Structure 1
Amino acid sequence: MSSVRATRPSPLSCTRRLSLGVAAFAMSWMAMSGACAQTAARPAATAAQAAPQVASLPAIEGKTIEGAPFKLESLKGKVVLVMFWSTNCAVCRDKMPELRSNYQGWTGKPFELVAVNTDTRVQDFLDYERIISATVPLKQRFVQLWTGETGYRDNIGKHAQLPSALLIDKTGKVVQRYVGRIPPEAWDSIAELL
């Protein structure tokens, strides 16, 4: 009869297993939330490569969430930041208070913010907007469009990652593209273009 001796795993092997488990969890979580940017802004060259190819003079038209007709070309003469986002993107939702605050700060300046929602269900967008309309002052609200609206058209194409944004100068030309969080330098660029 052989004797079986119980051995206790070394603390080092337990630590390795725990590290591997944490790494596996983190990788699966990042894969599940891959539609959203989870990091700070990428360097401009990388962001431009990852951004969809956009005409130098982008065109967007449709109806705002309030039902008013909208054409991006009507904003010529203003600096415009167009942000594509979704309610199921945590980074997108997290960015909204900063966007509203900056938008309010440039009241009276030739600046406009246009948020284009890419949700597949309009109800998700409307539910979010109902909360916003009850909690956010009018002076912090900006143009909101939904890509699923029957009259919505653009020449921008699909976005592999959200949020993504375009900075457009007063002539209507795209001067910068951002994928992921809008970097602080973007607000400096807007100030310079004003």
Structure 2
Amino acid sequence: MNRRDFIQSAIISGVGMSSALALAQGKTTGQKYELSGLDVAGKKLDLKDFSGRTVLVSFFTFDCALCTHDLKLMREFYVRNASNKFVLLGVNMDQNKKDLDEYNEATTLAFPKDQRFPTVWRNAPGHKDNFGKVSSLPSHFVIDAKQQLMFKREGAFQADDWDKLWLSLG
């Protein structure tokens, strides 16, 4: 076995073991996640519309430096993997809609349209989701093609999270 095959095999084994460990610890429940509302452009957004894809749902605020760092990396991953059945959804947690509007204006000016991912405001009238209380920012949920939780990360995305996310794309 060459070095590349060994590393790939080790990563796949590690993902399998971490998934088994997560199941043993009750971290994945088989619950189907839901999210619906209007995105920042006023367009209807529903997580169900992304069935059959891996979805990274990231909860953030406008003034969170760690969130900004993670979203930069996630945007790069999104751009490179949108054609691989991958979707990035942002859920803004700011209390004040003005902060979200400033974020949206900045991203509209800074990034071409194909690099902007759908973002919703969690405090918007009509917004619904069943992700529960988000106590740490950023918080990221990776949802599989069946809309079930693969894993959750509170705080910064870790190196092995990127590996698991990439491998989930098949």
2:33 alignment counterpart: 58
Return the letter of the residue paired with 1:96.
L
CA distance in 1, matches of 2:91, 2:57: 7
1:123 alignment counterpart: 98
Is the counterpart of residue 74 in structure 1 residue 49 in structure 2?
yes
1:34 alignment counterpart: none
Contact kept in structure 2, 1:167 and 1:174, CA below 8 Å: yes
Q: Which runs of 4+ in 1 moved over 3 A?
A: none
Q: What's the CA shift for 1:187?
A: 2.0
Query: What are the within-5 Å matches in structure 2 for residues 1-194 of structure 1?
Result: 56-194=31-169
CA distance in 1, matches of 2:105, 2:129: 26
Return the letter of the residue paired with 1:178.
R
Identity among equivalent pairs (%): 27
- CA separation of 1:104 and 1:158: change in aligned 2, threshold 3 A: same
Contact kept in structure 2, 1:54 and 1:157, CA below 8 Å: no
2:13 alignment counterpart: none
Return the letter of the residue paired with 2:137.
L
- CA separation of 1:156 and 1:107: change in aligned 2, threshold 3 A: closer
CA distance in 2, matches of 1:78, 1:108: 10
What do the CA deviations read for 1:57-103 (whole angstroms, capped 9, x no partner)? 11111101111111111111000000001112111112221111111
CA distance in 1, matches of 2:131, 2:47: 12
Larger radius of gyration: 1
1:17 alignment counterpart: none
Return the letter of the residue paired with 2:84.
K
What do the CA deviations read for 1:118-154 (whole angstroms, capped 9, x no partner)? 0000100111110111111222111100011101011
Contact kept in structure 2, 1:84 and 1:116, CA below 8 Å: yes
- Report the RMSD for the aligned CA atoms in angstroms: 2.3
Q: What's the CA shift for 1:55?
A: 6.9
Q: What's the CA shift for 1:107?
A: 2.8
- Give the gaps of 5 or more residues in structure 1: 1-42
State the TM-score, normalizing by the size of structure 2: 0.80
CA distance in 1, matches of 2:88, 2:159: 16
Contact kept in structure 2, 1:54 and 1:156, CA below 8 Å: no
What SS does the corresponding residue of 2:62 show, helix, strand or coil? coil
CA distance in 2, matches of 1:81, 1:143: 11
CA distance in 2, matches of 1:96, 1:166: 13
- Give the gaps of 5 or more residues in structure 2: 1-17
State the TM-score, normalizing by the size of structure 1: 0.70
Contact kept in structure 2, 1:79 and 1:168, CA below 8 Å: yes
Question: For this pair of structures, how many residues does the alignment match?
Answer: 148
Q: What's the CA shift for 1:170?
A: 0.9
